[in-house]
Structure 1
Amino acid sequence: MTESDNTIQLDETTGPEHFGLRLDQVLADLFPEYSRSKLKTWIQDGKVAVNGEVITVPRHKMQMEERVTVNAEIEIQVTSQPQNIDLDIVYEDEHILVINKPADLVVHPGAGNPNGTVLNALLNHVPNIDKVPRAGIVHRLDKDTTGLMVVAKTLPAQTHLVDQLQHRVMSREYEAIALGTMVAGGVVEAPIGRHATKRTHMAVREGGKPATTHYRVMEKFRAYTHLRLKLETGRTHQIRVHMAYVKHPLLGDPVYGGRPRLPKGASEDFISTLRGFQRQALHAAQLSLYHPETEEWMTWQAPLPEDMQNLLEAVRLDTKENPEDII
């Protein structure tokens, strides 16, 4: 197998186990580093040959010991413009990139954010990543959620990482500050779908996609709880929606947090700190996955950003000043 900046050349011989199978099935077995949809497209586009003969029918039945070759061009997948935006890079090699995303940085361009995004920064930082779907972004964080994201730098790496996400192999853990005092951890299993009337919001609703969030208490205060959460699925706004569903929305969440509530007897300094925290208190603290090339299990951690550290200190002080309210 060879892969240059613009071309992919693959060459393998089928075995007895491939007899009678369809060409697209055989390609998926021989070249698992590429997605089934991509391999099927290459067949239909005349990029695949069997014993030197171009085959354009994915259902073509295979014999034994046939030579299968693929000669494909890597087409541009992303048309956004590169921009010189600093990235906090936690890890990088020729296959993947792990970044620690700050608050107020959007992952993908969209309405209201045509540029200045993580994607624009990746196009500038990684040559040819425009040939990987979504510039290698396989999962996203909300604009004001901080923490770790992995990016695929090649098509095979992207296929591998997407497969880990789909099969719930990749591990993602978060830290959050929730409203109210929670005395124990638990699991939220509730389907999430688009809100019935607010189309930019998500909600727990019948007919939504299955969603599971595990959480445990790291530290409890008189009016808030510091949580560690682990995603089993990756639905849009999942943690924010699930915690609001169990009546413990995230502190500062402008969408799902409801009407701001100030603890009884809070000091002016504490009230000022709460009002000054203008985002959901959520941070992607740990990311673990199998490296797409070496298969090594790798784990990265990102400490809480300064604004959340300061918020926690303020919450601790508020609890210390009001010990009679501790549950």
Structure 2
Amino acid sequence: MRRKLDWLLKSKGIQIAYEDEDIIVLNKPAPFLVIPDRYDESIPNIYRILIGELPEVFVVHRIDKETSGLVVFARTEGAHKGLSEQFEERGVEKVYEAIVRGRPEHSDATIDLPLREKIRGVMSVDKKKGKDSVTRYSVLERFNGFAHLEVRPETGRMHQIRVHLRAVGLPILCDSVYGGGSGFYLSEVKSGYKKKVEEEEEVEEKPLIARTALHAAGLSFQHPVTGKEMRFESGLPKDMRSAIRMIEKYAGREREV
């Protein structure tokens, strides 16, 4: 049965970053759901894979379907209680990397804007009725018209990073819900780009990246049973690395003033 779980995860491109009898930390690809979809439970998700092969599995947090990277599950009720308390008390450090459109005004900034669900599955800034929401970001790389950011959410609202960055004029690349476009193509940054031609017909251009360019790169917490400090890191996936490489090559780095 253990071999079956390993095979099921591997077949979906999901890597086990760490596992013991209390917790399991996974590194997921995009697009792939962490938990069942609220409106269509038939869509494949990590929780369904785990619960089908492990005695017990408890959801502690989640990352969006189109976000890649680290996510932790509890394997016992005790571990679930301990981890949930850390998330609620903001004792868990979460680090993301994002590719955004626009020019960050500051190299380091804090976005403190309350959020609420505007319509089903879509969040918005609401200073009167929204819940407290805080996100910090630092600029890792600046390009002409784009930037590569490290993002640290201090609260855990749905779509928080995506909405906050959009609110300050930095929508995440390929975030079709919050203003980042539906795909990123080489033709957008390469001057004089020419489409490929096969048998006298133009070949439709494929996007360099077609999902929200957001990656859960770091996750730190205390082990819920042993109390040991646990730190996990995940490097940028291929699609985001490729997008950054092409942006740097053709859009160019922003000149320092």
Shorter-chain-normalised TM-score: which range? 0.7 to 0.9
Which residues in structure 2 correspond to 1:126-165 (within 5 Å)?
A: 126=54, 128-129=55-56, 135-165=57-87
1:292 has 2:224 as partner? yes
TM-score for the superposition, normalised by structure 2: 0.83
Specify the SS of the correspondent of 2:52: helix
Q: Structure 1: which amino acid aligns with 2:29?
A: P
CA distance in 2, matches of 1:286, 1:179: 22
Q: CA deviation at 1:181?
A: 2.0
Q: Is the Cα–Cα contact under 8 Å of residues 85 and 116 in structure 1 kept in the other structure?
A: no
Deviation at 1:268, TM superposition (A): 2.4
Q: Does 1:251 align with 2:176?
A: no
Q: What amino acid is aligned across from residue 123 of structure 2 in structure 1?
A: M
Larger relative contact order (Cα-Cα within 8 Å, sequence gap ≥ 6):
2
Q: Which residue of 1 aligns with 2:125?
A: 204
Structure 2's unaligned 5+ residue stretches are: 1-6, 196-204
Q: 1:268 aligns to what SS in structure 2?
A: coil
Identity of aligned residues (%): 35
Contact 1:289–1:298 (8 Å) recurs in 2: yes
Q: Which amino acid aligns with 1:306?
A: K
SS at match of 1:244: helix
Could you report, residue by residue, the CA deviation over 1:265-285 in whole angstroms, capped at 9, with x for unpaired residues? Answer: 745279x57x44211100000
Distance 2:142 2:194 in 1: 20
What are structure 1's unaligned runs of at least 5 residues? Answer: 1-82, 130-134
Deviation at 1:123, TM superposition (A): 1.1
Name the counterpart of 2:40: 112
Q: 1:257 to 1:143 in 2, by over 3 A?
A: same
Distance in 2 (CA, whole Å) between partners of 1:305 and 1:269 is 27
Between Structure 1 and Structure 2, which shows a larger proportion of helix residues? 1
CA distance in 2 between counterparts of 1:230 and 1:291 reads 20
* Contact kept in structure 1, 2:137 and 2:149, CA below 8 Å: yes
2:240 to 308, 311, 315: 308
* Aligned partners of 1:223 and 1:263 also within 8 Å: no
Aligned counterparts of 1:266 and 1:173: Cα–Cα separation in 2: 34
Instruction: Pick the structure with greater CA Rg.
Output: 1
Query: How far did 1:239 drift?
Result: 0.3
Counterpart contact for 2:208–2:239, Cα < 8 Å: no
Pairing 1:268–2:193 present: yes
Contact 2:166 2:179 in 1 (8 A): yes
Distance 2:9 2:216 in 1: 21
Q: 2:209 — aligned with what?
A: 277
